[in-house]
Amino acid sequence: MSLEAPGFGFELIARDGAARRGRLTTAHGTAETPAFMAVGTAGTVKGLLPEQVAGSGTEILLGNTYHLMLRPGAERVAALGGLHRFMQWPGPILTDSGGFQVMSLAELRQLDEDGVTFKSHLDGSPHALTPERAVEIQALLGSDIAMVLDECTRYPATLEEAEASMRLSLRWAERCRRAFRPRSGHALFGIVQGSVYPALRQACAEALTGIGFDGYAIGGLAVGEGQVSTFAMLEATTPALPAEQPRYLMGVGKPADILGAVQRGVDMFDCVLPTRSGRTGQGFTRRGQVNLRNARHKDDPRPLDPDCGCPACGRFSRAYLHHLFRAEEMLGPILLTLHNLHYYQELMAGIRAAIEAGTLADVAAAFAEQQAAGDLAPL
Contact between 28 and 262 under an 8 Å Cβ cutoff? The reply is: no
Residues that bind its own copies (rule: CB under 8 A) add up to a total of 36
Q: Which of 6, 13, 17, 81 binds its own copies (CB under 8 A)?
A: 81
Residue 86 interacts with its own copies (CB under 8 A)?
A: yes
Residue 320 interacts with its own copies (CB under 8 A)?
A: yes
Helix 255-262 / helix 360-373 crossing angle, nearest 10 deg: 160
Smallest distance, its own copies to C-beta of residue 308, A: 16
Strand, coil or helix: 313:
coil
* 270 a catalytic residue: yes
- Between residue 280 and residue 299, which ones bind its own copies under the rule CB under 8 A? 298-299
Q: Of 16, 150, 257, 270, which one is the catalytic site residue?
A: 270
- Between residue 154 and residue 183, which ones bind its own copies under the rule CB under 8 A? none
- Between residue 21 and residue 60, which ones bind its own copies under the rule CB under 8 A? 42-44, 46-49
Smallest distance, its own copies to C-beta of residue 45, A: 8
Element (H, E) at 107: strand 107-111
> Please, which residue, 83 or 364, has the CB nearer to its own copies?
83
Residue 302 interacts with its own copies (CB under 8 A)?
A: no
Contact between 145 and 173 under an 8 Å Cβ cutoff? The reply is: no
* 112 a catalytic residue: no
> Please, which residue, 161 or 299, has the CB nearer to its own copies?
299
Q: Which of 66, 180, 213, 316 binds its own copies (CB under 8 A)?
A: 316
Query: Exposed/middle/buried for 230, CB within 10 Å: 0-12, 13-18, 19+?
Result: buried
Residue 215 interacts with its own copies (CB under 8 A)?
A: no
Q: What is the dihedral of CA 51, 54, 56, 60, to 10 degrees?
A: 150
Smallest distance, its own copies to C-beta of residue 312, A: 9
Candidate ranges 55-63, 171-179, 181-189, 310-318; the one touching its own copies (CB under 8 A):
310-318
Give the whole-angstrom CA distance, residue 4 versus residue 176: 13
Tell me which residue of 145, 212, 180, 214 sits closest to 1, measured CA to CA. 214
Helix 198-211 / helix 159-179 crossing angle, nearest 10 deg: 10
Give the whole-angstrom CA distance, residue 203 versus residue 220: 15
Give the whole-angstrom CA distance, residue 244 versus residue 215: 9
Contact between 193 and 220 under an 8 Å Cβ cutoff? The reply is: yes
Contact between 304 and 375 under an 8 Å Cβ cutoff? The reply is: no
> Please, which residue, 228 or 295, has the CB nearer to its own copies?
295
- Between residue 328 and residue 357, which ones bind its own copies under the rule CB under 8 A? 329-331, 333-335
Q: Of 16, 96, 144, 267, which one is the catalytic site residue?
A: 96
Smallest distance, its own copies to C-beta of residue 41, A: 9
Binding residues vs its own copies (CB under 8 A): 42-44, 46-49, 67, 71-72, 76, 79-81, 86-88, 298-299, 301, 311, 315-317, 319-320, 323-324, 326-327, 329-331, 333-335
Active site residues: 96, 270
